Amino acid sequence: MRIALTVNGELHDTEAWPGESLLYVLRERLGLPGSKNACEQGECGSCSVLLDGVLVCACLVLGVQAEGHEVVTVEGLAENGGLHPVQEAFVEAGAVQCGFCTPGLVMAVADLIRRSPSPSDDEIREALSGNLCRCTGYQKIFDAVRLAAS
Ligand code: FES
Ligand code: FES
C-alpha cells in the first residue's frame, strides 16, 4: 500500500507493507538513517522521533499509523545547515562515545528543553529514562543537558 506522511517538513509518498514500523519506513523507504535500530522493542530509545510533536519510539509505531501525520527525526533538528543547540552541547560536553544512542538522546533532550527550559535533575532523569546508553555512564549526557539548557 502507499502512505503519505510529512517528515522534517517535506511531504513523502511511499510504499509500505502494513506491518512495517515507522522506523523501517524512515530508514529503509525514505533513506533517513539517523533514527537508530537497536532493540525494535521500545526498550532503548535509539529510534526516538517526534510524531505530531510527541516523542515516540518509531519502532513501536506502524508506518501506516503515520499516514497524514508529521514526523520530525534527528535529521530535521539542524537549522540552516548548523547543529541544533542540543547537538552542539553533546559535542561540547563529550557526551558521545560510540554514538549509537546519541540521535535518540538528542531527540529526547530537545523535547525536554522545549517543554521545560530549565529542567531539574529529576526531570532530566525522568525524560531520559527511556534512552539507554552503554558507553558514557550518563554523567556526560547530564552535563550536555545542563549545557543545552543554559
Ligand atoms: S529501537 Fe526502538 S526503542 Fe530500541
Ligand atoms: S555512546 Fe555508545 S551507547 Fe551511548
For residue 31, pLDDT over 90 is answered with yes
In angstroms, what is the span from residue 45 Cα to ligand 1's centroid? Answer: 5
Q: At what angle do helices 85-93 and 139-149 cross, to 10 degrees?
A: 140
- pLDDT tens digits along 75-89: 999 878 899 999 999
Instruction: Decide the pairing of beta strands 10-15 and 54-57.
Output: unpaired
The Cα 20–Cα 60 span in angstroms is 10
- pLDDT tens digits along 107-124: 999 999 999 999 999 999
- pLDDT tens digits along 34-54: 999 999 999 999 999 999 999
For residue 92, pLDDT over 90 is answered with yes
Ligand 1, residues 27, 57, 73, 133: which to mutate, most atoms within 8 A of Cβ? 57
In angstroms, what is the span from residue 42 Cα to ligand 2's centroid? Answer: 17
- Does the global pTM surpass 0.85? yes
For residue 5, pLDDT over 90 is answered with yes
For residue 66, pLDDT over 90 is answered with yes
Instruction: Decide the pairing of beta strands 2-7 and 10-15.
Output: antiparallel
Per-residue confidence (pLDDT) for residue 80, from 0 to 100: 82
